[in-house]
Amino acid sequence: MKSLDTALAAAPLAAQGVTIRHVRTHEEFVACVQLQRATWGANFNELIPVSMLMITQRLGGVTAGAFTSDGALQGFVFGITGVEHGHIVHWSDMLAVRNDVQGHGVGRRLKEFQRDAVRARGATRMYWTFDPLVARNAHFNVNRLGARVFEYVPDMYGHNTGSRLHGGFGTDRFIVTWPITPDGDAATSAGEPSARNTPSIATIPLLNAMFDRSLGTSSGEPDGDVPNFAASLPPLLRVEIPSDILEVSAATPSLAKRWRSTTRSAFQWALANGYSVERFERGAAGVGSYVLSRAAEQPGAE
């Protein structure tokens, strides 16, 4: 006889009657903590306890879950609401979905529920973070949700959170924003990258390769303003990442650290020089690429 978990994994989510709603009972809050441990590991030191999940929701935050018809938690999202420059904003701090139901839209439905809940409370913008080296998250956040990258923070959560997902190569993060007012909803334009009148991905200059060649100085950092474009800055650049950074880290930790070093330098240089993340392309041969664009009317960097 199949276990309940096996049956749920095999059945379409629509048939399971999955409902997205606010977490209500103590047992449901406990299930959210258990899912955190299952996702980030038993030694994760950034775990959100039951008390904070409950109190934050009471004061305008969100703790919402995806539940099957029998009450089993499939995923949850947690965030806090506050005031920034006189505007109500929301920081989505944590999203977790059970491994056996990932890829079925649960994460997106949780984010959309969270967006609608905080919009009803007067929030105009949502923030959250993700690791630029995690290709799956890049596709979900940039392509599927349409979140906009506006800041790169090295080691945002310290060098080691205790999680097996963060070990060995730091916790650099993109901070992304998601406008949630009715006339600025980023989600309305989200989706798979479409075929545009843009060059082939292979013809777009690879920015982190320029920084990779610059490593080896006594400081271990790129020596000076490495990219050297002859006339003006190109309208498109790309930054390559591995398709599975955790697999790379497990097999060759030094290579994972090199990926972090070169992509960190590339993204920081690009954002400082007027580039923005346009989309993420999932490629072949174990790599994917962020495509970064720069408005033609912007003056070139000196």
Distance CA 291, CA 204 (A): 8
Distance CA 18, CA 131 (A): 28
Cα distance from N-terminal residue to C-terminal residue, the chain: 69
pLDDT of residue 1: 34
SS3 readout for 209-260: HHHHCCCCCCCCCCCCCCCCCCCCCCCEEEEEEECCHHHHHHHCHHHHHHHH
Helix (H, G, I), strand (E, B) or coil at 287: strand
pLDDT of residue 93: 94
Which domains, ranges and CATH numbers included, belong to the chain?
4-189 (3.40.630.30), 201-293 (no CATH)
pLDDT of residue 40: 86
Question: What is the rounded average pLDDT of the residues 177-183?
Answer: 79
Helix (H, G, I), strand (E, B) or coil at 193: coil
Amino acid 147 reads: A
pLDDT of residue 231: 73
Name which residue leads in pLDDT, 217 or 143.
Answer: 143
Does 35 score more than 70 pLDDT? yes
Helix (H, G, I), strand (E, B) or coil at 149: strand
Helix (H, G, I), strand (E, B) or coil at 284: coil
Q: What is the mean pLDDT of the chain?
A: 83
Q: What's the predicted TM-score (pTM) here? A: 0.80
β 148-153/125-130 pair status: unpaired
Name which residue leads in pLDDT, 186 or 118.
Answer: 118
DSSP character string of 27-64: HHHHHHHHHHHHHH-TT-TTPPPHHHHHHHHHTT-EEE
Distance CA 46, CA 55 (A): 17
| Percent of the chain topping pLDDT 70 | 78
Residue 161 binned pLDDT confidence (cut-offs 50, 70, 90): low
pLDDT of residue 227: 77
